Amino acid sequence: MITFEDVVKVYPGGSTAVDHLSLELPTGKLTALVGPSGCGKTTSLRMINRMVTPTSGRILIDGEDVAGRDEAALRRGIGYVIQHAGLFPHRTVLDNVATVPVLLGKTRREARAAAQELLERVGLSADFAKRYPAQLSGGQQQRVGVARALAADPPIMLMDEPFSAVDPVVREQLHREFLRLQEDLGKTIALVTHDIDEAIKLGDRVAVFRQGGRLAQVGTPRELLAAPSDDFVAEFVGRDRGLRGLSFDSAAGLPVRPVDGLLLDDAGRPLGWPGDDGPRDTGGTFTKDDSLRVVADLAIRSPVGIAVRVGPDGAADGLVSHHDLADYLAGRRS
Amino acid sequence: MDACRVNLSYLLDPAHWEIGAAYSIPTLILAHLGYTVLALLIGTVVALPVGLYIGHTGRGSFLAINAGNAGRSLPTLGLLMLLVTLLGLGLLPVLIALTVLVVPPILTSTYAGMRSLDRRVVDAARGMGMRSWQVLTRVELPMALPVLMGGFRSAALQVVATATVAAAVGLSGLGRLLIDGLAVNDYSRVLAGAIVVAVLAVLVDLSLALVQRWIVSPGLKGTD
């Protein structure tokens, strides 16, 4: 666990970057630090690995004050990922990934062998190993950046806007891969972002900062969307928070009505809704594992206003209309 | 003065190319290269650490910039004469004068190379737990090498051309052909000296270009 105890950072010149921050980042969870620019989120992150020294207050890792640790040794035990990846342009991808293990005393050969495995783990094939960073796309560089941070298998990772330099399509893909990776690894992660959607999507917990370096609210994404503590947080999380909040509710408990009127193939899989010019596309289907947001989206996009649920075999096993969903949400509220 | 007598006869005379003979062209080239290499070596030992320190810490950058400008404006021959009157004849005044010539380009280019680095990469290196000297030797220096080598090559070119002044104070080197040729009105000898100095300068630069190719990471070439 990473603990901020009443941490203050005032820069020479008098500007307050972080104002009496007390915050806990639980072990094995991803805590997203989010807020507008100049809110102290990056400064807070950089105080964890002593890249920035607090003016007052303490930062503890599992109860131990980081100020008492040797700087370099502390940092080698903490993965560090930054925007644009910050890869060493003069080293190959493989040697970039091998950096920290070599610093920790592994032979170059051992470190490279381990680095090769890690590259595959972050979705880069073996032939990337010998390339130089300038030969990679932004998304590939960012993957290498993550692999480099993971190389010494640190329990903690600090990530400063790790996905903001890539285009939305690649970002989406990196998010998915990253969540899958984190599910396996269970690192304690502090992730800085200015993008509330990213924070909500990736964070187990989200800490919202406001200008002047003050913590506005901390909680699970769901809590944040459901009950923002004040107008600032409400505005920051956005006007469509009601709809976005649905992404945390499983469709498993949603009652469905029997399949009726839908065109099916021999195996019971949906072909579409009857129309004058043949079947009309259902716009997709959902399963019990999907969120209510998916169901709402399907119901809105469906030509007949009905979302189709399928079972594990792909066969349609239930229907949900707008009205069903609205009734379900209304019933849940009371 | 008989301008018609200026020809390649001195340069092409095999007697002047006898290896090991005193005053033969190979002997003079060797001495010339000796002054050049010594001056570059001393200049590098002086300028490189200072440039790296200033670039790494950002402290004293005025020194890098002003020393560069001041050094460039000093006339080497005048400086050499001054040093000879102070220190007497010998190798020392020559080496000092040539070192003063090479320090500014090396210092300035080292500093410029260090300052042109992507600071995010340096930040990443620190954040990953490199100590200050590891950041310097493993990240900053290799990344600054292309710019640094540019400065070193220009220093080498200048010193190859200027090392001819050694002959003005009685030492050896290709300047002997120029000064002695002028003294005895043997303009073919002067021409030979000029040609050999020019060819030597080109060859030195070419070999340094090869060294640069060898020591600069291929990863830094695509972006330049």
Average pLDDT, chain B: 91
B213/B224 Cα distance (integer angstroms): 13
Instruction: Provide mean pLDDT across the span A218-226.
Output: 91
Residue A249 has a pLDDT of 85
For residue B43, what pLDDT band results from cuts at 50, 70 and 90? very high
A51: nearest CB among B126, B134, B216: B126
> For B217, which residue in chain A has the nearest alpha carbon?
A90
Contact A31, A207 (CB under 8 A): yes
Determine, for residues B128 and A76 on separate chains, whether the beta-carbon distance falls below 8 Å: yes
Residue B177 has a pLDDT of 95
Nearest CA to A149 among A46, A199, A77? A77
Residue B223 has a pLDDT of 46
Instruction: Provide mean pLDDT across the span B52-64.
Output: 87
Average pLDDT, chain A: 92
For residue B94, what pLDDT band results from cuts at 50, 70 and 90? very high
Dump pLDDT digits (tens) for A227-277. 899 999 998 888 778 888 888 888 888 999 999 888 999 989 999 999 888
Check pLDDT > 90 for residue A9: yes
Dump pLDDT digits (tens) for B143-180. 999 999 999 999 999 999 999 999 999 899 999 999 99
Check pLDDT > 70 for residue A91: yes
Residue B21 has a pLDDT of 86
| Class of domain B25-220 (CATH, top level) | mainly alpha
Contact B204, B157 (CB under 8 A): yes
Q: What is the 3-state secondary structure (H, E, C) of chain A?
A: CEEEEEEEEECCCCCEEEEEEEEEECCCCEEEEECCCCCCHHHHHHHHCCCCCCCEEEEEECCEEHHHCCHHHHHHCEEEEECCCCCCCCCCHHHHHCHHHHHCCCCHHHHHHHHHHHHHHCCCCHHHCCCCHHHCCHHHHHHHHHHHHHCCCCCEEEEECCCCCCCHHHHHHHHHHHHHHHHHHCCEEEEEECCHHHHHHHCCEEEEEECCCEEEEEECHHHHHHCCCCHHHHHHHCCCHHHHHHHHCEHHHCCCECCCCCEECCCCCEEEECCCCCCECCCCEECCCCEHHHHHHHHHHCCCCEEEEECCCCCEEEEEEHHHHHHHHHHHHC
> For B130, which residue in chain A has the nearest alpha carbon?
A72
Check pLDDT > 50 for residue A6: yes
B23 residue type, one letter = Y
Contact A63, A228 (CB under 8 A): no
From chain A, the residues in CB contact with B147 under 8 A are none
Domains annotated for chain A, with CATH where assigned, are: 2-247 (3.40.50.300), 249-333 (3.10.580.10)
From chain B, the residues in CB contact with A82 under 8 A are 120, 123-124, 127
Residue A242 has a pLDDT of 81
Check pLDDT > 90 for residue A190: yes
Which of the residues A43, A88, A142, A192 would you substitute to probe the B interface, choosing the one with the greatest number of B C-beta atoms within 10 Å?
Answer: A88
Dump pLDDT digits (tens) for A39-88. 999 999 999 999 999 999 999 999 999 999 999 999 999 999 998 889 99
For residue B2, what pLDDT band results from cuts at 50, 70 and 90? low
Q: For the complex shown, is ipTM > 0.90?
A: no
Residue B224 has a pLDDT of 42
Q: What percent of chain B has pLDDT over 90?
A: 75
Phi, psi (deg, nearest 5) at residue B31? -65, -45
Determine, for residues B127 and A80 on separate chains, whether the beta-carbon distance falls below 8 Å: yes
Residue B222 has a pLDDT of 58
Residue B221 has a pLDDT of 80
Strand partners, B51: none
CA B179, B183, B188: angle at the middle one, nearest 5? 75
Residue B4 has a pLDDT of 59
From chain A, the residues in CB contact with B140 under 8 A are none
Check pLDDT > 90 for residue B75: no
Dump pLDDT digits (tens) for A130-159. 999 999 998 999 999 999 999 999 999 999
Residue B69 has a pLDDT of 77
Instruction: Provide mean pLDDT across the span A204-216.
Output: 94
Q: Where are the domains of chain B?
A: 25-220
A84: nearest CB among B120, B125, B127: B120
Minimal Cα–Cα distance from B134 to chain A, Å? 9
Q: What percent of chain A has pLDDT over 90?
A: 65
Is A99 an 8 Å CB contact of chain B?
A: yes
Instruction: Provide mean pLDDT across the span B11-17.
Output: 90
From chain B, the residues in CB contact with A99 under 8 A are 128
Determine, for residues B126 and A88 on separate chains, whether the beta-carbon distance falls below 8 Å: no
